């Protein structure tokens, strides 16, 4: 029986990854030095493909980190002098808030009840806030912010740096990079790659902030500090030995996504998510956790299961269909189902059919 992973990350690998790993081994990619020409060319190919897929302006730097979690620390170190504001709507947005507190920042949080989201047209931001954090797709609850709402907030408050966590949604949402300053993701979610690589994109405003902190003697020169990333990325290199294999695989998968067409990927994402929420709404034992439709994640569907989620998760796993349990306090109450670009319409249809037929 072949296992299919609908877990929200790590998840199923993008369907071409196996073939790219074989090619990488043949080409000795894991053994090449990250200071050699062959590597430099490879990193350049990956970043150029990513720029094309995301429509990322040339003014944005692309940096590689070990994870998205690392990006939180890097932002706290050198983009926030005193005060940040975190829109918390679940576990991941909360973790960034805690990371800022642990670095001694005056990090404020506005908290939305899990399953709901912030009405960004109503919020007030204090003028001392230097960085605003939004989690576009809160993987723990399945609550997402529409890109248009993010733009509305940005237009009202242009001074603070705007940092977006798009870890479990990219490349599905279409961001306008002129309306944000920092955006990051990990590759083991929607890109369908093995874990162990974070991607951090940021603009000149972030660089200027770090430079002015340096001038004030407040710059933290850690191993992946932002200005080191800037310097090395100009040479298509990293500050230390990176996850070379994953940077190679990311370039290949992004190229495959470009060949398929981002429009097609986005259309399919809508269809698959409609199937999932239709299941959550029509099944007698399931309820969508995010009730307000506008805030429903398109890539991670979360449902409450009446009577608990364990039996359903186990029954599906017995059939090789692996879905996620709830996050944290919702562990045994929720199911979380990823519909990432690698998940075909047919696979989601099959999963929905199975849930409808199962007696759990």
Ligand X SMILES: *Cc1c(COP(=O)(O)O)cnc(C)c1O
The correct pick among 54, 145, 164, 167 for binding ligand X (CB under 6 A) is: 167
Of 194 and 308, nearer to ligand X (C-beta) is 194
Rounded alpha-carbon distances, angstroms, from residue 338 to 6, 132, 272, 277, 320: 5, 27, 10, 12, 15
Tell me the three state secondary structure of residue 204: helix
Beta carbon of residue 85, minimum distance to ligand X (angstroms, whole number): 17
CA dist 190 and 169 (Å) reads 6
Number of residues that bind ligand X (CB under 6 A): 15
344 contacts ligand X (rule: CB under 6 A): no
139 binding ligand X? (CB under 6 A): yes
List the interface residues with ligand X, window 30-89 (CB under 6 A): 67-69
Phi and psi torsions of 309, nearest 5°? -100, -10
Residue 169: CB minimum distance to ligand X, A: 8
Chain centroid, CA 85 distance in Å: 19
Residue pair 216/232 in contact (Cβ under 8 Å)? The answer is: no
- For ligand X, the closer of residues 71 and 226 by Cβ is 71
Site string for ligand X, 82-111 (x = CB under 6 A): ----------x-------------------
Q: Among the candidate windows 122-130, 165-173, 243-251, 334-342, which touches ligand X by CB under 6 A? A: 165-173
- CB of 80 vs ligand X, minimal distance in Å: 18
Here's the x/- map for ligand X, 219-258, by CB under 6 A: it reads as ----------------------------------------
Q: What percentage of the chain's residues is helix, strand, coil (to nearest 5)?
A: 45, 15, 40
Would you say 213 or 239 has its CB closer to ligand X? 239
Q: Are strands 321-322 and 4-5 parallel, antiparallel or unpaired?
A: parallel
Q: Which long-range contacts (CB under 8 A, 24 or more apart) does 23-26 make?
A: 23/252, 24/245, 24/248, 24/249
> In whole angstroms, how close is the CB of 106 to ligand X at the nearest point?
22
- CB-side neighbour CA atoms (13 Å) of 117: 27
Q: CB-wise, 78 or 139, nearer to ligand X?
A: 139
Distance (Å, whole) CA 242 – CA 149:
35
Of residues 168-227, those binding ligand X (CB under 6 A): 168, 186, 189, 198
DSSP three-state, residue 287: strand
Residue 165 within binding range of ligand X, rule CB under 6 A: yes
Alpha-carbon gap, residue 288 to 250, rounded angstroms: 32
CB of 197 to ligand X, least distance (A): 8
Pairing of strands 61-65, 4-5: unpaired
Beta bridge partners of 133: 86, 163
Rg (CA), the chain: 20
8-27 mask for ligand X (x: CB under 6 A)? -x------------------
User: What is the smallest separation between the CB atom of 334 and ligand X, expressed in angstroms?
Assistant: 15
Instruction: List residues near ligand X by CB under 6 A.
Output: 9, 67-69, 92, 135, 137-139, 165, 167-168, 186, 189, 198
């Amino acid at each position: 029986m072949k296992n299919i992973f609908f877990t929200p990350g790590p998840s199923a690998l993008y369907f071409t990854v196996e073939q790219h790993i074989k090619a990488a081994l043949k080409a000795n990619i894991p053994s090449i030095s990250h200071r050699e020409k062959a590597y430099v060319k490879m990193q350049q190919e990956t970043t150029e493909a990513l720029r094309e897929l995301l429509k990322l302006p040339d003014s944005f730097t692309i940096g590689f980190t070990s994870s998205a979690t690392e990006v939180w620390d890097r932002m706290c170190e050198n983009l926030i002098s005193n005060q940040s504001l975190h829109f918390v709507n679940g576990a991941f947005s909360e973790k960034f808030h805690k990371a800022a507190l642990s670095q001694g920042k005056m990090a404020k949080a506005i908290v939305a009840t899990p399953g709901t989201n912030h009405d960004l047209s109503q919020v007030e931001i204090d003028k001392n806030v230097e960085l605003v954090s939004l989690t576009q797709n809160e993987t723990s609850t399945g609550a997402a912010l529409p890109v248009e709402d993010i733009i509305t907030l940005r237009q009202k408050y242009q001074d603070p740096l705007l940092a977006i966590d798009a870890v479990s949604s990219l490349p599905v949402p279409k961001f306008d990079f002129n309306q944000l300053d920092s955006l990051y993701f990990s590759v083991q979610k929607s890109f369908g790659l093995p874990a162990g690589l974070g991607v951090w994109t940021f603009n000149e405003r972030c660089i200027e902030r770090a430079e002015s902190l340096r001038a004030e003697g407040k710059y933290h020169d850690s191993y992946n500090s932002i200005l080191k990333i800037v310097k090395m990325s100009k040479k298509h290199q990293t500050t230390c030995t990176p996850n070379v294999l994953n940077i190679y695989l990311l370039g290949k998968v992004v190229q495959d996504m470009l060949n398929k067409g981002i429009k097609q990927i986005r259309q399919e994402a809508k269809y698959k998510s409609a199937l999932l929420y239709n299941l959550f709404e029509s099944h007698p034992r399931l309820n969508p956790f995010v009730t307000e439709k506008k805030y429903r994640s398109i890539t991670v569907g979360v449902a409450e299961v009446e009577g608990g989620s364990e039996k359903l998760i186990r029954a599906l796993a017995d059939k090789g269909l692996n879905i996620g349990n709830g996050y944290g306090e919702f562990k045994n109450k929720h199911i979380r189902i990823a519909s990432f670009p690698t998940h075909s319409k047919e696979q989601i249809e099959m999963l929905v059919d199975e849930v409808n037929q199962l007696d759990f």
